Amino acid sequence: MEGDFDGVDFKNSKIEQKSHPRFTANSVPAYSTVNTRRSFNNPNLSTRNMHSAAPPSLSSLTMEGGHSSTVQPSPPLPKSAEDYVYRTFQYFQGHESNQKDRIAAENKLREILEAAVKNNTITKVDWDHYPLPQDIIRQENLTLSSQKFRTQGVSTNSDAVPFPNRSKKRKSTDTSFTNSSNDATTHGDVSENVPSKKRKSKKARKKEKEAIKRAEQQQQNVDQLSNNTNTFEEALQRRAARFGTGNSTSHPLGPSRSQSPVSTPPKISTQLIDRISFQSHTNNDQTMYQFHSSSPFQASVQHIDTTMYSNSQLPIGQSFYSFAPQPIVGRCMQWEKSYFRLTDVANPKSVRPLPILREAFKQLKLRDDRDYGYLADQYKSIRQDLNVQNIKNEFTLEIYEYNTCLALQHDDLGEYNQCAAQLPALYSKFPGPRKIEFISYRILYLVYTLNLHEVCDLINELTQEELSSWPVQHALAVWRVAHNPIYDGSGNYRDLFILYRFRPAHLQVRLMDMFLERERLLATEKICKSFRPEVPITFLAKVLGFRRSLCVANDDTIYYTPEIRKLLLHPPDKALCRPAEAPPTWAQLLEMTDEVKKWLVHHGAEDYLSVKNDETYLDILKYKNDATKPHAFTIFRTARMAAFKTIDIKGQRA
Amino acid sequence: MSKLFEEFRTAMNDCNGNLLSQCITPINPSYDSDRLQSFYEASDASGVETDIRYEIIYHRDIDLPKDEKRIWLDIFVLYWKAVAVMQTSEDFMHTGIATTNWNKVYVVWKEVANAVLQGFQKEFIHVWAIPCLYVVGKYLRVFAIKADRQFADLPTNGFQNALLNAFGDLIGKHDNLEDSARQINRIFSLCIGDRNSLDVSRKWAIYYTANLLFKTYFKLSSFNLAKNILKSFAAAKDDLPPLGSFPKAQQVTFLYHAGIVYCIEEDYSKAEEHLFEAFRQCHKDAHRNKELILTYLIPIHLLTSHQIPSAALLASYPRIQSLLGPIITAVRQGDLKTFDATMRRELVNLTRLRIFLTVERSRDILIRNLIRKVYLLGGYEDLREGQTEADRVLRSRIPISEIQAALHFSLGYEEDMLDSDEVEQLLANMIYKNHMKGYIARDRGILVLNKKGAFPGTGA
């Protein structure tokens, strides 16, 4: 698929066109370009809102484009400035940066914006071309480190609006520009090896030289190839056609785009989101193309600066997403991809864009019966692709939810934890219908990992409505009756097993299964301590949750039995109650006792089983007078202690 | 300015740490109500270094090594900058009201803290001056909270509001405070890792900084980090000066926080130990502090010693009375219905204090009281042959149905909602936890209690 980009005609006049708008863009007053772009970017805006989850208030405020001031006279933050802020944060979101950098940039950002508002320049500053705070800071650091400019530290005067220093570095940037589109795909990979943040060392300079040399060579190769292949434009059009968007006929980088871009109204409204995000992605693709192509000429420290300036000279459609080094937009066209742990910046060639990821999800759902190893791997790679492209929308939520459930179904707690950990953040942006279900998983998971106190934090974040929903109620009841080994003897075994038998109809059972065993051991231990002289096995089967036919309840069709009703903090309406369960049938009883027997034998209590009048009993007092043999109580105590010991915070057994 | 440096020189010459820390405290001392303003006005950004240089390096009344002077010069220049930011009001939120930009103050104060920390690290600043560490640490926290609050309480107009709407989740509500926790943690590790002998050790600052850290982590709900502090204390405990040799205020604050950490973990015996000691040491007039300690200590003491507070004690703390009063009464009376209803009602309040489970656990004590009532009401067993009146004991075999009836009554159920399994579960828990001694004879449907001391610790 990626072959489509190979052999683009780089000598074509399109390159001239391509570089052209950059120079014109500089000569045109900045704010007018901003307006043009606004109108173009409206669809993009909503995509962006989806990505960043800006609340509707913001989008309604800004959807008016350049006229935002008429909607609400007081806010002096123009769209372009918002974009600017957004870019600042997005850089850090997609990027594994340290906290210090982020905070520094944030402070810088506040400073810049405050200064701009104070000086009434907020509408005048060309935000699209304005360097990002993190770049300014980097610039400052560089200036500081080179002794000459020591006194010019920008930090000393916050009122002055610092524009990018036109220093030496700029030159090399420019060079990289002229060459930028020449060796795009051939060198995409090289760029990813460039670390983005370190100072330029001798080694780096040497590398840079080598890179230039290499690039020159490859340039020649490309030149030779170029004559017998498609034009760049054609390639893009074919690509667009493949996605079935059917618009974007003009050259994406041509001058026409920067003035009045085409955006046909969507044919089917439900596909709007797909389409919009796709548009932005195609646009973006070009930029990535450029950005990566220029990188062989960038040595470490310039990496980011270069792309920043390069973006500043592109039409906005591109400049919005394309700050380096992340997020990227992929151009892998195959839906199937196995997970590979990245050690470096992702290669867009092997990253699937959103539409392909949707396709992959669709395909994978059809293959639900394949082995878990395959599915887990596939979903992991989808999550990775979403992550490197910084896609956060309802689809992301769906993937994470689905993957969470999948991992649960296969008792893969490692993956479960990875997926579930992302859900709170996603729910804060897209409150999906399944939120309460996943909250209940979270509570049960905390019970399993014995982080009972964290449930308190969780409760304080819930609304009253969420709190009184059935899954959350159920999980909270489990929390209250579960055992905490630090406080000896806590917990109510029978209540817990009632909650196990009568539970929401989702995957709660999977999580409860994980701590069922240890709670069962504890319950047996308690029974062995307090009952004399023996207990029938049928009794154990009844109170230890061995009963097969489980009462599973859905949220809307639930009818509470009295036992369960008592256990809930917010007992449901009387109307929803039904009579207590009928006692188990004879056949059920047989099955249960069989299972209990197996379980007891498994834990080494075979010796303690005795049969009287056709009933099997657990003989608690056996070996009462024999000091060499343990009591039944001791056996279960040891087993219970071991079972509670081996849980660590990630839910992995030690 | 000269007044402040006079104090500084006195402090330096007398090795007076408290006076020295007063010199870099970013609030006015009680005896000099416009010190900060006059300090700020005495110089300007371009001349401040020269001005301070005259006060520290060239002054004849001060006798210090050159390096040490330099450190203090740096600190005071940064301190002046911090004061300058505090004294300047700016309308940075565009509300038309000029206020201090606390975020900026925090950033500059962090530099002050860094400079002081460096001074200690390189051992140019000596141990007698550790109150300076207290001051910088304390105000790191104060300014961070102010900055966070200022950013969160943004007025409802202007671009920052739009900004917060759009990017609030990216910015984070506690960014500054989290950062301050990291800074204070640096101070903490500097102190706890000091290998100098105790008389010149920075270890004398650990309890103060640990308390700052506790407060910060609690505010951030970072329980695990708070637990780590206790772990590092446990690891270093052989080399630490005894807790008793630290100021009372530090002792009490530390014990209180450590007690809460143990309480959250449900290690109630350790929690009680710490909280009880905190309560004992607490100043008799520190009513608010005692109230805080008791909020945790009362439910914990109920669990560990099965004792409830006296009415007089509760009456002097109305807040605790309203929160825990009904529960305590219910426990005493064996009133399950009120207990459950109160737990439901106070769910949010109790989870906010993180004592929901702690209080919930006292339901066991309530049930024990209830069963004991059944036991006491059961009357005496008939005398057997050869026994005298002195041998008379309470009936030790109690039908489970009687206990079931008592529970039913206590729960206030209208219909029959309690089966024997549930009663047996409760009894088994009681016996397992040693709340009562005896066993359940399931086949006969009775609870057999010990003839003597069936309910340990209750006298019956």
Q: Which of B103, B265, B97, B119 is nearest to B171 (CA)?
A: B103
Q: Taking residues A97-123, report their average pLDDT.
A: 73
Shortest alpha-carbon distance between residue B237 and chain A (Å): 23
Q: Please report, in angstroms and rounded to a whole number, the separation of the first and last CA atoms in chain A.
A: 45
Q: How far does CA B311 lie from the centroid of its chain?
A: 25
> Which one of A74, A110, A428 has the shortest CB-CB distance to B158?
A74
Q: How far apart are CA A208 and CA A295, in angstroms?
A: 10
Instruction: Count chain A–chain B contacts defined by CB atoms under 8 A.
Output: 156
Query: What does the block give as tokens for A407?
Result: 């991992």
Q: How far apart are CA A344 and CA A350, in angstroms?
A: 13
User: CB distance from B433 to chain A under 8 Å?
Assistant: yes
User: CB distance from A578 to chain B under 8 Å?
Assistant: no
Test B159 with A122 for CB contact under 8 angstroms: yes
> Which one of B107, B159, B442 has the shortest CB-CB distance to A117?
B159
> Which one of B90, B92, B417 has the shortest CB-CB distance to A566?
B417
pLDDT at B33: 81
pLDDT at A546: 82
Chain A residues whose CB is inside 8 A of the B179 CB are 99, 103
The answer to whether residue A93 sits within a structural domain is: yes
pLDDT, one tens digit for every residue, chain B (460 residues): 678 888 888 888 888 889 889 888 888 888 888 888 888 888 888 888 888 888 888 888 887 888 888 889 999 999 999 998 888 877 665 666 677 888 889 999 999 999 999 999 888 888 888 999 999 999 999 999 988 888 776 654 445 555 554 444 445 578 889 999 999 999 999 898 888 888 888 889 999 999 999 999 998 888 889 999 999 999 888 888 889 889 999 999 999 999 999 999 899 999 999 999 999 999 999 999 999 999 999 999 999 988 999 999 999 999 999 999 999 999 999 999 999 999 999 998 999 899 999 999 999 999 999 999 999 988 887 777 777 777 778 888 999 999 999 998 998 876 666 788 889 999 999 999 999 999 999 888 899 998 888 898 887 6
User: CB distance from A301 to chain B under 8 Å?
Assistant: no
Find all residues with CB under 8 Å of A54, minimum gap 6, and list them: A48, B165, B166, B167
pLDDT at B276: 95
Which of B357, B416, B427, B450 would you mutate first to test chain A, the one with the most A CBs within 10 A?
A: B357
Find all residues with CB under 8 Å of B443, minimum gap 6, and list them: none
The overall average pLDDT reported for chain A is 66
Query: What does the block give as tokens for A381?
Result: 């790679």
Q: Taking residues A84-93, report their average pLDDT.
A: 70
pLDDT score of A55 more than 80: no
Chain A residues whose CB is inside 8 A of the B430 CB are 530
Contact A128, A319 (CB under 8 A): yes
Secondary structure (DSSP) of A340-397:
---SSSPPGGG---HHHHHHHHHHHHHTTTS-HHHHHHHHHHHHHHHHHTT--SHHHH
Chain B residues whose CB is inside 8 A of the A428 CB are 169
Q: What angle do CA B225, B228, B230 make, to 5 degrees?
A: 125
The answer to whether residue A514 sits within a structural domain is: no
Confidence bin at A182 (pLDDT 50/70/90): very low
Q: In chain A, what percentage of residues exceed pLDDT 90?
A: 12
Lowest-confidence segment of A188-192, A261-265, A305-309 by average pLDDT:
A305-309
Fold of B378-449: Arc Repressor Mutant, subunit A (1.10.10)
Model confidence pLDDT, tens digit, residues A203-226: 556 665 666 666 555 555 544 444
Q: Taking residues A635-639, report their average pLDDT.
A: 89
Test B162 with A113 for CB contact under 8 angstroms: no
ipTM of the complex: 0.86
Q: How far apart are CA A406 and CA A372, in angstroms?
A: 8
Between A411 and B92, residue with greater pLDDT: A411
User: CB distance from B417 to chain A under 8 Å?
Assistant: yes
B97, exposed or middle or buried, with CB in 10 Å at 0-12, 13-18, 19+? Answer: exposed
Q: Taking residues A468-476, report their average pLDDT.
A: 89
pLDDT at A309: 35
User: CB distance from B161 to chain A under 8 Å?
Assistant: yes
pLDDT score of A310 more than 80: no
pLDDT at B338: 94
Helix (H, G, I), strand (E, B) or coil at A222: helix
Query: What does the block give as tokens for B452?
Result: 């003597």
User: CB distance from B107 to chain A under 8 Å?
Assistant: yes
Model confidence pLDDT, tens digit, residues A333-374: 888 888 888 888 888 888 899 999 999 999 998 988 889 999
Q: How far apart are CA B331 and CA B327, in angstroms?
A: 6
The answer to whether residue A352 sits within a structural domain is: no
Test A530 with B266 for CB contact under 8 angstroms: no
Q: Which domain holds residue A21?
A: 2-261+268-319
Test B163 with A55 for CB contact under 8 angstroms: no
- Name the amino acid, one letter, at B373: K
Helix (H, G, I), strand (E, B) or coil at A534: strand
pLDDT at A375: 92
Chain B residues whose CB is inside 8 A of the A467 CB are 347
Model confidence pLDDT, tens digit, residues A516-559: 889 999 999 999 999 988 888 888 888 888 875 555 666 555 66
Query: What does the block give as tokens for A58?
Result: 């913001």
Test A114 with B92 for CB contact under 8 angstroms: yes
pLDDT at A103: 74
Q: How far apart are CA B292 and CA B320, in angstroms?
A: 9
Contact A562, A578 (CB under 8 A): no
The answer to whether residue A64 sits within a structural domain is: yes
CB atoms within 10 A of CB B251: 19
A203, exposed or middle or buried, with CB in 10 Å at 0-12, 13-18, 19+? Answer: exposed
Shortest alpha-carbon distance between residue B133 and chain A (Å): 22
Chain A residues whose CB is inside 8 A of the B428 CB are 526-527, 529-531
- Name the amino acid, one letter, at A123: T
A648, exposed or middle or buried, with CB in 10 Å at 0-12, 13-18, 19+? Answer: exposed
Q: Taking residues A299-303, report their average pLDDT.
A: 33
Helix (H, G, I), strand (E, B) or coil at A536: strand
Secondary structure (DSSP) of A68-86:
HHHH-SS----HHHHHHHH
Query: What does the block give as tokens for B167?
Result: 């990017």
- Pairing mode, if any, of strands A615-619 and A534-536? antiparallel
pLDDT at A233: 54
A562: preceding bond cis by omega (within 30 degrees) = no
User: CB distance from A617 to chain B under 8 Å?
Assistant: no
Contact B366, B406 (CB under 8 A): no
Angle between helices A133-145 and A302-312 (to 10 degrees): 130
Between A200 and B438, residue with greater pLDDT: B438
Query: What does the block give as tokens for A568?
Result: 């809930």
> Which one of A460, A493, A531 has the shortest CB-CB distance to B351?
A460
Which of B102, B442, B444, B450 would you mutate first to test chain A, the one with the most A CBs within 10 A?
A: B442
Helix (H, G, I), strand (E, B) or coil at A532: strand
Shortest alpha-carbon distance between residue B26 and chain A (Å): 21
Contact A605, A632 (CB under 8 A): yes
Test B159 with A566 for CB contact under 8 angstroms: no
pLDDT at A146: 53
Model confidence pLDDT, tens digit, residues A271-283: 333 333 333 443 3
pLDDT score of A26 more than 60: no
Test A81 with B159 for CB contact under 8 angstroms: yes
Confidence bin at A95 (pLDDT 50/70/90): low
Query: What does the block give as tokens for A493?
Result: 């075994």
> Which one of B182, B344, B442 has the shortest CB-CB distance to A531?
B442
Test B163 with A457 for CB contact under 8 angstroms: no
Q: How far apart are CA A603 and CA B221, in angstroms?
A: 40
Test B161 with A542 for CB contact under 8 angstroms: no
- Number of folded domains that form chain A: 1
Test A460 with B441 for CB contact under 8 angstroms: no
Confidence bin at A318 (pLDDT 50/70/90): very low
Chain B residues whose CB is inside 8 A of the A460 CB are 348, 351-352
> Which one of B266, B417, B426 has the shortest CB-CB distance to A487?
B266
Test B158 with A425 for CB contact under 8 angstroms: no
Query: What does the block give as tokens for A555?
Result: 């949220």
Query: What does the block give as tokens for B35?
Result: 């010190």
Query: What does the block give as tokens for A100?
Result: 């210090």
- Per-residue DSSP letter, A653: B
- Pairing mode, if any, of strands B438-441 and B446-449? antiparallel
What is the greatest pairwise CA distance in chain A? 101
Domain borders along chain B are 242-361, 378-449
Question: Chain B 246-285, CB below 8 Å of chain A: which residues?
Answer: 264-268
Chain B residues whose CB is inside 8 A of the A99 CB are 178-179, 182
Test A489 with B429 for CB contact under 8 angstroms: yes
User: CB distance from A382 to chain B under 8 Å?
Assistant: no
Q: In the Cβ-directed half-sphere of A169, how many Cα atoms lie within 13 Å?
A: 23
Test B354 with A54 for CB contact under 8 angstroms: no
Helix (H), strand (E), coil (C) string for chain B? CHHHHHHHHHHHHHCCHHHHHHHCCCCCCCCCCCHHHHHHHCCCCCCHHHHHHHHHCCCCCCCCCHHHHHHHHHHHHHHHHHHHHHHCCECCCCCCCCECCHHHHHHHHHHHHHHHHHHHHCCCCCHHHCHHHHHHHHHHHHHHHHHHHHHHCCCCCCHHHHHHHHHHHHHCCCHHHHHHHHHHHHHHHHHHCCCCCHHHCHHHHHHHHHHHHHHHHHHCCCHHHHHHHHHHHHHHHHHCCCHHHCCHHHHHHHHHHHHHHHHHHCCHHHHHHHHHHHHHHCCCCCHHHHHHHHHHHHHHHHHHHCCCCCHHHHHCCHHHHHHHHHHHHHHHHCCHHHHHHHHHHCHHHHHHCCCHHHHHHCHHHHHHHHHHHHHHHCCECCCCCCCCHHHCCECCEEEHHHHHHHHHHHHCCCCCCCCHHHHHHHHHHHHHCCCCCEEEECCCCEEEECCCCCCCCCCC
Q: What angle do CA A413, A416, A422 make, to 5 degrees?
A: 145
Model confidence pLDDT, tens digit, residues A242-276: 554 434 333 433 333 333 334 433 333 333 333 33
pLDDT at A93: 60
Question: Chain B 165-204, CB below 8 Å of chain A: which residues?
Answer: 165-167, 169-171, 175, 178-179, 182
Between A578 and A21, residue with greater pLDDT: A578
